[in-house]
Structure 1
Amino acid sequence: MSSQAGTVRVPQEERTRAMRARLLEATVECLVERGFGGTSTTLVSERAGVSRGAQLHHFPTKNALVVAAVEHLTDVRAAELEKAAAALPTGPRRTRAVLQMLADHFTSPVFTAALELWVAARTDPALLAAVAPLEQRVGRETHRLTVDLLEADEARPGVRELVQATLDLVRGLGLANTITDDVRRRHRILDQWAATLDAALGATPQEDA
């Protein structure tokens, strides 16, 4: 009897995971296409092909659903970033490749979906309470990854600020991309910033006189 229960439980767990994944992916699609205001739990359940009752069982509120969706996609994108990082070139073009990888991240659907949450959370205390810890975690992880990829020594004066400026830059370029296609301008800016970083990070600190 216990053997039979075991054979039934695994497929059910798989179906549940698949259903949750469909809900989260449909939520991100709605956030990107319709914005936070245009996203509803009813619309998400219809797009995911999941019954309203099942959706409410797993995500009883819209806020719970959208935060879980962005967190899910953020985790997926983080894994993709780690994979892309492993394929980065060495040598003189590495810094530019790191910047391109970060720029691709900040022009991806996960950034657009997260942006919708940031704007909505500004006037929604409950949503802000859920979004703020996620954004803090993502910020720390992205900063750590950038430091590692640039091989930046944050013990040197000004280096931490350069890393933070790098992330602010690519985030700002991602924001601009939500308004208009900004590829050419973005490439020119990243070319110049790569040269700036190479000059700053590669320089040896001067000895005290």
Structure 2
Amino acid sequence: MGALTDGPKQDRSRVTRRRLLESAVTCLAEHGWSGSTVTVVAEHAGVSRGAAQHHFPTREDLFTAAVEYVAEERSAILRDLPSPATTRAAVETVVGLYTGPLFRAALQLWVAASNEPQLGPRVTALEARIGRETHRMAVELLGADESVPGVRETVQGLLDMARGLGLANLLTDDSARRARVVAQWAALLDTALSRPVS
């Protein structure tokens, strides 16, 4: 009898965990670290605080798991994207990673980690892994050959530029300026990667 009831119970548990993770990212992006308590996230997810603590014993567990979860979801989506037809489309895809709610949530987590000793090492390790994955995806999107001298640094420059555009976008709608910067970076990348301009 127990084996028959475990399936639906496990499914409910997975659904609850996923709702908590998605709500944590939303709350972190909208309210920042100080406004995103386990109670606030549980209310947003429509579950009890006890259920939230069952899945994530500490606040740090919840928020690092939430950013990791969404980063993995984002990676899965990017892996399934067709190769962009142009360098500009690839640059737009990379920049898009830094202008959405995940980046806003991650930024709040970075700021909190700079002031919360128990959070710092976890966020540093998580960001290192996400950074490597994002770099790898950018290389694939661009069809770049990192065995060519300077290409690795060029791709990293793209990621640093995209992060800067994401920061600028936090305060104001920066889409008009961002479009011009993306076009220029695409042209620079075509030159750096020795391609005809797209």
Tell me the distance in 1 between the aligned counterparts of 2:40 and 2:134. 32
Pairing 1:9-20 to 2, within 5 Å after superposition:
9-20=6-17
Pairing 1:21-170 to 2, within 5 Å after superposition:
21-84=18-81, 86=82, 88-89=84-85, 94-170=86-162
Normalization by structure 2: what TM-score?
0.94
Instruction: Provide the secondary structure at the position in 1 that maps to 2:34.
Output: helix
Tell me the distance in 2 between the aligned counterparts of 1:138 and 1:189. 24
Query: What is the root-mean-square deviation in Å for CA atoms of aligned residues?
Result: 1.2
Instruction: Provide the secondary structure at the position in 2 that maps to 1:60.
Output: coil
Tell me the distance in 2 between the aligned counterparts of 1:127 and 1:72. 17
Greater RCO structure (CA 8 Å; 6+ sep): 2
Consecutive unaligned residues of structure 1, counting only runs of 5 or more, are 204-209
1:189 aligns with 2:181: yes
Normalization by structure 1: what TM-score?
0.90
Deviations 1:49-95 (A, max 9, x none): 111212111111111111111111111111122223x1522xxxx11
Deviations 1:119-173 (A, max 9, x none): 1111212101111111111111111111122222222221111111000001110
- Larger Cα Rg: Structure 1 or Structure 2? 1
Structure 1: which 4+ aligned runs deviate by more than 6 Å? none
Tell me the distance in 2 between the aligned counterparts of 1:149 and 1:42. 40
Tell me the distance in 2 between the aligned counterparts of 1:110 and 1:62. 18
Tell me the distance in 2 between the aligned counterparts of 1:152 and 1:23. 37
Q: Mean Cα displacement is larger for which, 147-156 or 104-113?
A: 147-156
Consecutive unaligned residues of structure 2, counting only runs of 5 or more, are none
Tell me the distance in 1 between the aligned counterparts of 2:103 and 2:116. 19
Tell me the distance in 2 between the aligned counterparts of 1:95 and 1:121. 35
Alignment coverage as a number of residue pairs: 195
Letter in 1 for 2:75: A
